[in-house]
Chain A
Amino acid sequence: MAARDYDPIEFELFKNAIFSIADEMALTVHRTTYSAVLKDNMDYSTAFCDAGGRLVAQGLTLPSHLGSIPEALAAVIRRYGEDMQEGDIFVLNDPFEGGMHLPDIFLFQPIFVDGERVAIAATICHHTDVGGRVPGSNASDSTEIYQEGLRIPPLKLYERGRPNPTLHMMIERNVRVPVKVFGDLRAQLAACTIAERAFKELVARYGREMTQLYMDELLDYAERLTRAALLDLPDGEWRFEDHIDDDGVDVGKPIPLRVRVEKRGDRMVVDWTGTSPQVKGAINNTFSYTRSAAYCGIRSVLPTNIPNNEGYFRAIEVIAPRGTLAHGVLPAACAARGLTGFRMVDCLFGALAQMLPERVGAAGDGGNIGVSIGGYTPERTPFIYVDFTCSAWGGRPFADGCDGNSHMFANMASPSIEVTEAEQPIQITRYEFLPDTMGAGQYRGGAPFCREYRFLEAEGVLQVRADRRAFLPFGLQGGGAGAPSMNWLTREGKTEPLPSKFCITLRHGDLFRLEVPGGGGWGDPLARDPALVLRDARNGLVSLHAARLDYGVVITPGWAVDREATEVLRAERRAGRGPLPAITRERAA
């Protein structure tokens, strides 16, 4: 334990205070935002950095933003150095200079006390639209950044408290829904205002010197907690490989993800060397996003009390060669890189499951599927509906995967059907679990759902980013793979399958059906408690046929387990099969 030259009690009080400000900023964004995607998906983050740009406290919001702020702020500091004045507010979204993808707009406000910079407040919000070729600015089939929308390098949105009119006009002219974008920028500004006031109170209470000392200590403290927790994990090296089906441009060409996790003593390396070169489609990560994925995955196997700050990052080294999917370079398109981030977390879990087989489970649905429907009414009023949705966790070594639950990397919510129908030219006609889609196992995968959208405007654009159609969610320790994702279009009474990633023109009355993939199973399905199989069968999630076929459980017409028949059937099954695979990988035809 480090030597202390401060009061441990006062430090604890300081820590409470500064995280409370980060959360208060997040609440401000949450309450004042205009866009449902921001509020429902909590697709925003707030944080404090010290005067030098080190991340001291990040609010508990979007995991996939964890780790993105230091890189963005470094870009601002590189460009402006000491040219930061009281009342300046910096903005950026350029993935090649600090950003993540264009819809994520970063705002930074330096905070001054007696003319000296003492801290920097930071907010990130995912904006509904930043221009480009597809409404929502998140098309997966763009092939270069220039198609994706307005690219903002680090600039001053406000200079000494005065708005930069050139930049405001440029933004206003280049986005489809300026009212929403400026409404959300106002929410970000409001959070910064609150941060400034609260931080100045903090400095008044603790003094400038102690404030800096406590911020330093907060980083060291997080690092100590992280290293102590890492020491408790086994040393070694583990590898895992998985594939994204394709990038939606080179259709049918698999994209490998390869990770090597090395843990020695109190440090950890997450190395993505061997992962695919960057691709044409818009699923390339910035390095910061790859780091976020690593930080999120590893946090999930560490104790929960580690503060969210740069001290936690210090013990974890992330490697990703430039020019790869994990570290795209100009002109990589990256709007839909969320897909890659989710799948990297899952791939990392695949490696961690070998390291910690009693804690980490099989693959879930692969993270959210993006559905955007946009266009113009006959009166030329724009509409944009953006829905990111996911459902199924993989089976775990101690429990089934969750049914109808967000992915670990993005704690998002589904929009209300009734609100959607009142605000958008869309009717949702079905939203329910899909039976017989979960990977079988002693602990089965989570249940996915389907959602059907009927389009009610004359014409519009439907853009979807799904995956796990070919490479199914993997099972572990004998558990089966989950069912693939599917997309269907019903037009004039005819139903046809659609690819996993596409962008098409919709017409009035078209019905789009989305099926989320099922979670992979964990453990031998023949070892599953027959009572749980009965429960799932009773609930219509597992058919009687699948109960026999996958689980060797015979259920009577009166909803009871036929114990005798089940034992016989299970014995037969066990005798007739080979050893169980440690990892069940399936590739659909």
Chain B
Amino acid sequence: MSWRVGADIGGTFTDLVAISDEGALRTKKVSSSTGDYGRAIVEGLAMLFDEAGFAAGEVEEVLHATTVASNAILEHKGARTGLITTEGFRDVLEIRTLRMPRLYDLRWEKPAPLVPRHLRLGVTERVNHRGEVEIPLDEAGARAAVEALLREGVEAIAVCLLHSYANPAHERRIGAIIAELAPDLPVSLSVDVLPEMKEYERSSTTVINSYIGPVLGRYLNALIGDLQGGGLRAPLLLMQSSGGLMPAAEAARLPVHVVESGPAAGVIGAQALARRAGLPRVISFDMGGTTAKAGVIEEYEVARAGEYSVGAGIMVGSRLLSGAGYQLKVPSIDLAEVGAGGGSLIWLDAAGAPQVGPESAGALPGPVCYGRGNTQPTVTDANVVLGYLNPRHLVGGALPIDAAASRAAIAGKIAVPLGLAPEEAAHGAHLIAASNMIRAIKAVSSERGRDPRGFALVAFGGNGPLFAAGMAEALGMRQVVIPPSAGVFSAVGLLASDVEVHLSRSWRRPVQGLDPAALEAASAALVEEARSRLAAQGFPAARIAVQRAATLRYQGQSFELQVGFGAGDGPDVLAERFGAEHERTYGHRAGADEPVEVVALQVLGRGLPERPRMPDRLSPGATPPPEPARPAYFGRAHGWLETPVLARAALAAPQAGPLIIEEYDCTCLVPPGAVAALDGFGNITIELGVASA
């Protein structure tokens, strides 16, 4: 038997999953080893091999999602980086967009630039937006700048000159000068990292590539060494923020693509599930201890965003307020994140209104019921009071629970001041947490012109399956799907992904009067590059698939929409698809004579596996039989109901709620009025009645 292994490192836990080619699914949750992340993987895998009864030699691929790169940014522990810019523009990186993420906050501090001003040097040169050289590169000045940075002891250099996407000659020349003066120094040219217009976004992205490169490189080398020491010689691939995989060597060269790898993996897992189960439209919902994230899958394709910010924090009320964190313009899975998780604190504001989050008790001290010193109730405490969570222990008995402490905290801090019974207050907190998370779902659906009622909700993460049915009902959604091993599903998702290459180029042309041959030539060049990169990774031509896309807008608009097109599709097709997409997203389109322009071209290349990556049906290991039933509270309408507690396998025949399905890594709640069953792939499906609103 051969196995594929997924390892997802989170802040608190490292999740490990192994799937055999016959569909056996084995999981392991171990504490993350801060500072030496690879150790938890190697040790956890050894335990997993042991328990599941296979050897390292049977593993054919290791797939990995890591927070190493994002932590280096957040903790300012990246490489000492120098930046070379066009003379007069060295502060673009620090000035950013001037925008603040919070209003009315006198204590606001801008994030410190990843390259301090004295390591940012300007060089005399100028290229205009048409790519014409207006001022030739001052070679001596460039050499002096590189030498000055080397004297400062930089470990990496980023180069970002104005309009280099239109003509990279000066950037390339500076790259050559660096290579000559310091042959081993990692260099990121903006034209290689992000050949697109907008100097701030390109500078920030290029600098991040330089800043995290040496850190990620060291980490990957150490990890590969550790894995080999454990007898694991299988190739190591990393998850990109876009949801595609990338070989470790490629990730070391373009680390900017693997910054947000963990959250992407869960959505890719949901996409694989959607394809198998025949659900073309799915909203993925991933809720852990501190945050909840929603993503959208439409016609079996994940929605992607062109940019995001690391450390921007959670969406507090509004997605409008940008300016936080460190901006990256790379393809990523479009996720909306809110600060709601099992650890979110329940509190009363100054006017006495109940609130949930965004402050969290975190993993330590954690909820009141963990007995580690926290006294302010959390969402998990509410779920304990409501009887949804096991009142004695979680994680298969590894985590003891003090239900009385939860109840006392909810009663004292929330219920008494509000004049409610403890279970009423707990139920209220559960609903408020759900309504906060509903904003994340709306952000990826109704705010994008998509009606959530036409989607199924695929819920995972340690807490997702507890809230999914209630949220779906509130949104008028009809179907919820809970995959096997939902608590470690992001690691499962790693195993479902393909190798991907995303390419993008600024290419501004009016659509009206556009020469079809020019469009074809420009996009064919990108296709060719994607093919050659995948070929270099060992994919034969027959196992390479490419998709073309373009971003367009009405001339004068400052926001673009992406549409796909095929080889041979001309400008008319682009204009028509853009109009339709504009109508779908915003509810209106301009007249046919309104000028439309192409802003950029993209190509997504996929390296396809020789056989399906995921077996059709997953068989998780057996879980110990839980207690038969316990009382659970379902709001004033239902009150306390004696609720059966089942293992997943017991749903072989459909059963009506209320039900609780208890598993090693998570608990799933089926409210009254819903019906749960198992589909042919091991998923729990929950059907909801038609909602009242």
- The chain A residues found within 8 Å of chain B, CB to CB, are 1, 8-9, 11-13, 15-17, 19-20, 23-24, 26-28, 30-36, 39-40, 42, 59-61, 63, 179-180, 183, 186, 189-190, 193-194, 198, 201, 204-205, 221, 224-225, 228-229, 296, 299-305, 359-361, 389-391, 396, 398-399, 402-406, 408, 411-414, 416-419, 421-422, 427, 429-433, 449, 452, 538-541
B77 CB-CB contact with A under 8 Å: no
Known contacts A1-B351, A433-B91; is A405 also within 8 Å of B98 by CB? yes
Say yes or no: A32 contacts B320, CB within 8 Å.
no
Known contacts A60-B103, A60-B321; is A414 also within 8 Å of B588 by CB? no
Cβ contact of A431, chosen from B88, B320, B321, B428, cutoff 8 A: B88
Say yes or no: B108 contacts A20, CB within 8 Å.
no
**Residues B585-610 near A (CB distance < 8 A):** 585-588, 590, 594
Q: In the complex, what's the smallest C-beta–C-beta distance from A484 to chain B, in angstroms?
A: 20
B378 CB-CB contact with A under 8 Å: no
Q: Which of B95, B442, B554 has the most CB of A within 10 A?
A: B95
Can you list 18 residue pairs at the A/B interface with Cβ under 8 Å?
A1-B352, A12-B353, A26-B320, A60-B103, A183-B556, A183-B557, A201-B693, A204-B693, A225-B349, A303-B350, A305-B349, A305-B350, A305-B355, A411-B99, A432-B90, A433-B95, A433-B117, A449-B95
Count how many chain B residues have C-beta atoms less than 8 Å from C-beta atoms of the other chain: 72
Say yes or no: B317 contacts A13, CB within 8 Å.
no
Say yes or no: A9 contacts B428, CB within 8 Å.
yes
**Residues B157-172 near A (CB distance < 8 A):** 162-163
Q: In the complex, what's the smallest C-beta–C-beta distance from B248 to chain A, in angstroms?
A: 34
Cβ contact of A417, chosen from B103, B199, B354, B418, cutoff 8 A: B199
Alpha-carbon separation in the docked complex, A427 to B163 (Å): 12
Q: Which residue of chain A has its CB nearest to the CB of B556?
A: A34
B-chain residues with CB within 8 Å of residue A32 when the two chains form the complex: 557, 559, 586, 588
B198 CB-CB contact with A under 8 Å: yes
Q: In the complex, what's the smallest C-beta–C-beta distance from B580 to chain A, in angstroms?
A: 15
Interface flags for B347-366 (1: CB within 8 Å of A; 0: not) read: 00111111100000000000
**Residues B90-125 near A (CB distance < 8 A):** 90-92, 94-100, 102-110, 116-118
Alpha-carbon separation in the docked complex, A374 to B1 (Å): 72
Say yes or no: A416 contacts B104, CB within 8 Å.
no
Known contacts A12-B435, A60-B103, A431-B95; is A33 also within 8 Å of B558 by CB? yes
Q: In the complex, what's the smallest C-beta–C-beta distance from A311 to chain B, in angstroms?
A: 10
Cβ contact of A183, chosen from B318, B439, B554, cutoff 8 A: B554
Other than the known A403-B110, A416-B198, what 18 A-B pairs have Cβ atoms closer than 8 Å? A16-B436, A16-B439, A34-B556, A40-B558, A186-B588, A186-B590, A305-B355, A359-B106, A403-B95, A404-B94, A412-B98, A413-B98, A414-B97, A421-B129, A429-B88, A431-B91, A431-B95, A540-B117
A-chain residues with CB within 8 Å of residue B354 when the two chains form the complex: 8-9, 12
Q: In the complex, what's the smallest C-beta–C-beta distance from B19 to chain A, in angstroms?
A: 39
Q: In the complex, what's the smallest C-beta–C-beta distance from B59 to chain A, in angstroms?
A: 45
Cβ contact of A391, chosen from B95, B128, B199, B432, cutoff 8 A: B95
Alpha-carbon separation in the docked complex, A40 to B558 (Å): 9
- The chain B residues found within 8 Å of chain A, CB to CB, are 88-92, 94-100, 102-110, 116-118, 128-129, 162-163, 197-200, 317-321, 323, 349-355, 418, 420, 427-428, 431-432, 435-436, 438-439, 442, 446-447, 508, 554, 556-559, 585-588, 590, 594, 692-693
Say yes or no: B110 contacts A60, CB within 8 Å.
no
Cβ contact of A20, chosen from B94, B116, B442, cutoff 8 A: B442
B-chain residues with CB within 8 Å of residue A1 when the two chains form the complex: 351-352
Query: For the complex, would chain B's binding face be called helix, strand, loop or mixed by DSSP majority?
Result: loop
Cβ contact of A179, chosen from B94, B108, B110, B556, cutoff 8 A: B556
Q: Which residue of chain B has its CB nearest to the CB of A228?
A: B350
Say yes or no: A396 contacts B318, CB within 8 Å.
no
Say yes or no: B320 contacts A30, CB within 8 Å.
yes
Q: Which of A12, A186, A194, A205 has the most CB of B within 10 A?
A: A12
Say yes or no: A432 contacts B590, CB within 8 Å.
no
A-chain residues with CB within 8 Å of residue B89 when the two chains form the complex: 417, 430-432
Q: In the complex, what's the smallest C-beta–C-beta distance from A381 to chain B, in angstroms?
A: 12
B-chain residues with CB within 8 Å of residue A413 when the two chains form the complex: 97-99, 323
